[in-house]
Amino acid sequence: MAEGGAPYTTPDDLRTTLEEAGVFRTTAVDGVYHRSWDWERVLRGVEQHVMGKRVATDAPRRWFPPVMPREEFLKTDYLRSFPDLVGSIDVFDGTDKEHRALLAVLEDGGDWTSHLTPGEVVLPSSVCHPLYGTLPTDVPEDGLDEECSGWSFRHEPSLDPARMQMFRIYEYVRIGTPAQALAHRDEWLDRGLAALGELGLPVRSEAANDPFFGRVGKMLAANQLESSLKYEMVVDLTDVRPTAIGSSNYHEDHFGDTFGLHLADGTPAHSSCIGFGLDRITLALFAVHGVDVAGWPAEVRSALQC
Amino acid sequence: MAEGGAPYTTPDDLRTTLEEAGVFRTTAVDGVYHRSWDWERVLRGVEQHVMGKRVATDAPRRWFPPVMPREEFLKTDYLRSFPDLVGSIDVFDGTDKEHRALLAVLEDGGDWTSHLTPGEVVLPSSVCHPLYGTLPTDVPEDGLDEECSGWSFRHEPSLDPARMQMFRIYEYVRIGTPAQALAHRDEWLDRGLAALGELGLPVRSEAANDPFFGRVGKMLAANQLESSLKYEMVVDLTDVRPTAIGSSNYHEDHFGDTFGLHLADGTPAHSSCIGFGLDRITLALFAVHGVDVAGWPAEVRSALQC
């Protein structure tokens, strides 16, 4: 037990304990983990628990694959604000002869990827990104409720088990007027904190900002914080820093503008989303309740159906 | 109902029916699908059903993320045999200034990805690929039993719903002597056919080969077929061609050799795996039993727990 009330002193302690208990395995690349069945079944239980809190019960739900159309990704403008986190996919589209040339470069230890070309897909940087390009551009008066689940890639290799390179999020998304989007963001923040509290996690909300890139990014991050656009649901897993296990985000008209989604008056729709970090919540559960699922509090196991 | 006894005449018919029923959605890129909750819960039921057939009950089980270490991928030699299917991941590792240059190229409609560099990870081409590099190189006398589940990427854009660009497989892998590997391949083929039959799928086995690339590849494919290294579990979903929903593969000493796994006598270990195509089996269930899960045969719903 760490001094500050957090269950672990450092991310290293947490990672080592979970690995030794077989909860996950590290690999040759920092931030890439092989999950155990215990991890997986807890994660699915978390998703079920989160899905049990839905209010707009006729909202479409989608599970995205871990790739998305490149053109739609570019529309999100993520490349402008977070280039260092992006994962672009290259493919080989050549002939037998070009293949032989590629293999020759590979054997010489050179950059064989120079023989590849950009594919039609990239890795999603955020789980709701594949959603916006598939919505009707005329947003109805009542707004749109959407739910989605999937994998995000963020290129930020780290030994902190909370910073995985690929992780899952379940999102509740709302598209509509500014008032509709803001109400969604705020109502879901309360609902989210309650849902996570039911899992025995001592969670609280904090104003937050995204890690915008570079000098201009510093200003964008400050503006996001000042404008209270983003709140995180955080829990203390180590003494080093709080761990965000979910976030509630008001996008203003960013996606409405870039994807051409508009309200009846012709102005760009606003949107907001709440994301439940399924892998982060799972990590928090193992950190707070211990590595042996059978020993977790009965009400937590019941909520997770495991 | 198609004439040949298959439930659909063409892959187009099957895709259109499932999309109109909301079982999945197509996207801007062929072979990239958004799955419904019905699809997802059936798929999880399939995985549970498959996991219920395990024999080596103390075998480690791992759920892989959709990326794997680049260096380990290169050891599989997949790039030599199937370059056209590979997905390599690029990342941005530059400065503010280089970022501005990237954005300038993007705005001019040029290839902004030329400002990226190869990342530490790639997309897995096969689910068991991330396994071999993490195993002890001294294979014990009894051999090794391993299970793994995860996503595969194959760059083969198609409108055939059986040919998704990213899909999930559950694998039972055995590493050991040639006899141990072959016995695993054959015993699991029978076990696999029985398990799929329990789901009401009219499945049969067929000798098969992988789609090796190019002129040399044609010979490798013929050799694989002649040597009876690969069997597929197939079902007729359309009149066009049988659909493989699983496969049983003897790798000979391929992975033992490239990953330095050896037997007590110093020779490379042999290996085999049986893969259950979770997305393909799910597709087959919707094709054979209809788009309404509530109307599926009681014994199938019971086996799937849904």
Q: Identify whether A289 is part of a domain.
A: yes
Q: Identify whether A258 is part of a domain.
A: yes
Nearest to residue A168, comparing CAs of A284, A59, A89, A64? Answer: A64
Nearest to residue A285, comparing CAs of A32, A30, A50, A98? Answer: A50
What is the least distance, in Å, from the CA of B217 to any CA of chain A? 10
Q: Identify whether A255 is part of a domain.
A: yes
What is the least distance, in Å, from the CA of A263 to any CA of chain B? 24
Cross-chain Cβ contact B28/A213 below 8 Å:
no
What is the least distance, in Å, from the CA of B242 to any CA of chain A? 25
**Run of H or E residues at B99:** helix B96-107
Claim to verify: residue A113 and residue A234 sit in the same structural domain? no
Q: Identify whether B6 is part of a domain.
A: no
Q: Which two tokens stand for residue A284?
A: 């928090």
CA distance B156 to A176: 37
- Between A29 and B211, the more confident residue is A29
* A202 has a chain B CB within 8 A of its CB: no
Alpha-carbon B8 to chain mean position:
23
Claim to verify: residue B113 and residue B243 sit in the same structural domain? no
* A11 has a chain B CB within 8 A of its CB: no
Nearest to residue A205, comparing CAs of A180, A223, A187? Answer: A187
* B54 has a chain A CB within 8 A of its CB: no
Q: Are A240 and A145 in contact (CB under 8 A)?
A: no
Claim to verify: residue B57 and residue B206 sit in the same structural domain? yes
Q: Please give the full DSSP string across B275-301, using - where no structure is assigned.
A: EEEHHHHHHHHHHHH-S-GGGS-HHHH
Claim to verify: residue A30 and residue A110 sit in the same structural domain? no
Q: Identify whether A4 is part of a domain.
A: no
* A219 has a chain B CB within 8 A of its CB: no
Q: Identify whether A195 is part of a domain.
A: yes
Q: Is A237 buried (19+), middle (13-18) or exposed (0-12) by CB count in 10 A? A: buried
CA distance B225 to B209: 5
pLDDT at position A105 is 97
* B84 has a chain A CB within 8 A of its CB: yes
For residue B55, give the CATH number of its domain: 3.30.930.10
pLDDT for A154-209, tens place per residue?
A: 999 999 999 999 999 999 999 999 999 999 999 999 999 999 999 999 999 999 99
Range of the domain at B32: 11-87+123-304
Claim to verify: residue B80 and residue B164 sit in the same structural domain? yes
Domain boundary among B107, B122, B137: B122
From first to last of the 306 residues of chain B, give the pLDDT tens digit.
455 589 999 999 999 999 999 999 999 999 999 999 999 999 999 999 999 999 998 999 999 999 999 999 999 999 999 999 999 999 999 999 999 999 999 999 999 999 999 999 999 999 999 999 999 999 999 999 999 999 999 999 999 999 999 999 999 999 999 999 999 999 999 999 999 999 999 999 999 999 999 988 998 999 888 888 999 999 999 999 999 999 999 999 999 999 999 999 999 999 999 999 999 999 999 999 999 999 999 999 999 999
Claim to verify: residue B262 and residue B283 sit in the same structural domain? yes
**Residues of A whose CB is below 8 A from B91:** 84, 86-88, 155
**Residues of A whose CB is below 8 A from B154:** none
CA distance A266 to A25: 51
**Run of H or E residues at A278:** helix A278-289
User: How many structural domains compose chain B?
Assistant: 2
pLDDT-derived band at A230 (thresholds 50, 70, 90) equals very high
Among chain B residues, the shortest Cα distance to A88 is held by B90
Is the alpha carbon torsion for A126, A127, A130, A131 positive or negative?
negative
Least confident of A34-48, A284-298, B223-237, B286-300: B223-237
Claim to verify: residue B148 and residue B215 sit in the same structural domain? yes
Claim to verify: residue A251 and residue A276 sit in the same structural domain? yes
Taking only residues 150 to 169 of chain B, the set having a beta carbon closer than 8 angstroms to any beta carbon of chain A reads 151, 153, 155, 157, 164-167
Q: Identify whether B287 is part of a domain.
A: yes
What is this model's ipTM?
A: 0.96
Cross-chain Cβ contact B79/A103 below 8 Å:
yes
Cross-chain Cβ contact B28/A72 below 8 Å:
yes
Claim to verify: residue B97 and residue B158 sit in the same structural domain? no
Claim to verify: residue B60 and residue B116 sit in the same structural domain? no
pLDDT at position A3 is 53
**Run of H or E residues at B260:** none
Claim to verify: residue B32 and residue B98 sit in the same structural domain? no
pLDDT-derived band at A227 (thresholds 50, 70, 90) equals confident
Claim to verify: residue B48 and residue B116 sit in the same structural domain? no
Q: Identify whether A6 is part of a domain.
A: no
Residue A1 above 60 pLDDT?
no
Q: Are B168 and B65 in contact (CB under 8 A)?
A: no
Nearest to residue B9, comparing CAs of B236, B248, B178, B291? Answer: B236
